Amino acid sequence: MSNLSQDVLDNEFLPLPKKRRALLPIWIKIFVWIFMVFGLIAPLGLIAGLLGIGFELSLYGLETFQPISFLGLVIILLFALKGIVAFGLWWEKTWAVLLAMIDATLGIMICIFSMVILPLITENGSQFFSFRFEILLLIPYFVRMNRIRALWENRE
């Protein structure tokens, strides 16, 4: 009997990590660093595009070789958003988890669009469905951010 009451008390009074960053699992910390680098490169990509330098941009099934085009600017902005989210998570900003959830939701919606609708409207149109593996990380990313949101926002 005392074992049961002790478990309830232990869960209720568990010491919380002192740093917000401790709430993030290792796989998210790895992606935070990757996207901080991509976030820093995004403005350079924009400048290179303005100078007429073409290069491949690809994210969530959206692809282009023209950085200064509607699709190119959308992809660069998505990388910039991911960089801002990564910066916020790493430096434990209060707004970071909410922006991460928005980023994940946007990513899931774009993945679904590029898996279902994009193959139907593209020129080659021979492919009915194309699976995007990014969605397998975006969903757990959203779930994790949702779980830690209250703890994250209530920290100093």
DSSP string of 41-53, one letter each residue: HHHHHHHHHHTT-
Domain boundaries, given as residue ranges, for the chain: 25-153
**d(C-alpha 88, C-alpha 82), whole Å:** 10
Q: What are the pLDDT digits (tens) for 103-143?
A: 999 999 999 999 888 877 876 655 667 788 999 999 999 99
**Tokens coding 39:** 């976030």
DSSP 115: I
Q: Which of 64, 60, 63, 49 is nearest to 82 (CA)?
A: 60
Q: Is residue 142 within 8 Å of 101, Cβ to Cβ? A: yes
Is the pLDDT assigned to residue 7 strictly greater than 70?
Answer: no
Distance, CA of 69 to chain centre: 23
Supply the pTM of this predicted model. Answer: 0.83
Is the pLDDT assigned to residue 37 strictly greater than 90?
Answer: yes
Q: What are the pLDDT digits (tens) for 54-70?
A: 889 999 989 999 999 99
Q: Is residue 83 within 8 Å of 72, Cβ to Cβ? A: no
Listed in sequence order, the residues at least 6 apart from 46 whose beta carbon sits closer than 8 Å to its beta carbon are 67, 68, 73, 76
